[in-house]
Amino acid sequence: MRISIIGAGYVGLVSGVCLSEVGNRVICVDRIPERVQSILHGISPIYEPGLEDLLRRNLKNRRFTATQDLARAVKESDITLIAVPTPSRNGAIDLRYVRAATREVGHALRSKRAFHVVAVKSTVVPSTSDTIVRPLLQESSGKKAGEFGLCANPEFLKEGDAIKDFLRPDRIVIGSDEERSFRVFKKIYSRFHCPILHTNLRTAEMIKYAANSLLASLISYSNEIASIAEAVGDVDVVDVLRGVHLDARLTPFLEGAVSSLRGRLSPGIISYLKAGCGYGGSCLPKDVPALCTLAEKRGYEPGLLRSVISINQQQPLRLMKRLSHELGGLRSKKVAVWGIAFKPDTDDVRDTPAKPIVDSLVQAGAKVSVYDPFGLEAARKTLFQDTPLTYAQTQFEAAAGAHALVVVTSWPQFVNVDFRKLASLMKKRAFIVDGRRVYERWSVLAAGLRYLGVGYRESEAA
């Protein structure tokens, strides 16, 4: 199939490269000249493992290209995916880019006779495709719905695993309110072997929000249990959640296996039942509030999801409050922060827990040094333009002379660290603040460092 994709950001570029990898011909459209030129030269504007190799291969075999010319891309394709950003504005979804892209696509369709399917790939709240996108397409194209097709095709990509998620999906959701659009659109996935769920437009849009809200809820649930464990004392949330994970409904036994760890499955959902310093990134922090705002506009108060948001906002601040208490205040203390990206294997710093952590440290008068393997440049440009802090060249440079080290992102080089080397660089009996619970407490203590971890506090009696 010939496909045009409007938007060469994370979702658009990954989707475009992967769709070309399975045999489709793809034109990716973006308004930023530098981004288009970078893509045409085989240089990905975003960091995602494996993306650049696929990009170069499909540029070379001419199945993929990029352009600024939206009208040409639409006219030379059979299907258009709208994959533009849908940022958050005061907790609600901001659809300005979707509206603008829809109008331009409609104008391009005005002179096209062939049946053309437009699919919304961007994450949009339920009712967007049928009440906003469809009327705008009709108005700008001069055509009636049915003369063009409309689908909703949400993405389920995890940053750091996006290529695998796209090429080996667990499900494909296609929403359409009429059969012809669905039949044409599903052809782009003809080489995929997974369930294809056909729903109406609103249900497809809702599936994306329901999925992300569940993941966010699991994380905030884990962090609330961690906070209760801290309040009680001498309770380690890692062991608590490990005991929860061993419920066979979460980690089921393989058929015929005896009751042992080797005979169990370990579903990916378990990774969200883990305490830490909170979720971030481009999806959960904006999608959960957007769903809440939509629900409230429709007359329903989403109490559970509002609590999920509140717990996540407080989690990094709780951790810094504990550190301040242990150090007797943060003023003039040097604190190193390892990790700015919201998770490993990405340079995405959107809504990262590192932001409130660094801000609270600076506001308390601490001297902050930060390091991240890929996220420093984005942090300089978007997060900390006016924040007085030091950008270290290595993780050990950041930690040198520090009273405390806060681990925000579980990059492998942070997890597999030599604590004795770390202790020799930091202040005597400095704190390791384990914001992702990736360390064995006794290994930290054995090196002469002190340990402060999410979900664990020694009781006064101890």
Terminal Cα-to-Cα distance of the chain (whole angstroms)? 67
Q: CA-to-CA distance for 68 and 33, rounded, in angstroms?
A: 7
Around 122, how many Cα atoms within 13 Å sit in the side-chain half-sphere? 29
Measure the CA–CA gap between 167 and 178, rounded to whole angstroms. 27
Cβ-based neighbours of 444, under 8 Å, separated by 6 or more: 419, 432, 434, 450, 451
Q: Do residues 366 and 359 make contact, with C-beta atoms less than 8 angstroms apart? A: no
Instruction: Give dist(CA 381, CA 383) in Å, integer.
Output: 6
Decide if 118 contacts 137 (C-beta within 8 A). Answer: yes
> Residue 98's closest CA among 150, 171, 40, 51?
150
Cβ within 8 Å of residue 219, ≥6 positions away: 272, 274, 276, 278, 279, 284, 312
Query: Which bin fits 329, alpha (ψ -120 to 50), beta or left (φ > 0)?
Result: left
Name the nearest CA neighbour of 170 among 207, 118, 217: 207
- Tokens 């940053």: give the residue: 159
Q: Which residues are catalytic?
A: 283
* Residue of 349, 329, 340, 412 whose CA lies nearest to 369: 340
**Within 10 A of 254 (CB to CB), how many other CB atoms are there?**
10
Are 18 and 166 in contact by the 8 Å Cβ rule? The answer is yes
Q: Which long-range contacts (CB under 8 A, 24 or more apart) does 94-100 make?
A: 95/124, 95/128, 95/132, 97/7, 97/122, 98/122, 98/124, 98/128, 98/132, 98/133, 99/132, 99/136
CB atoms within 10 A of CB 362: 17
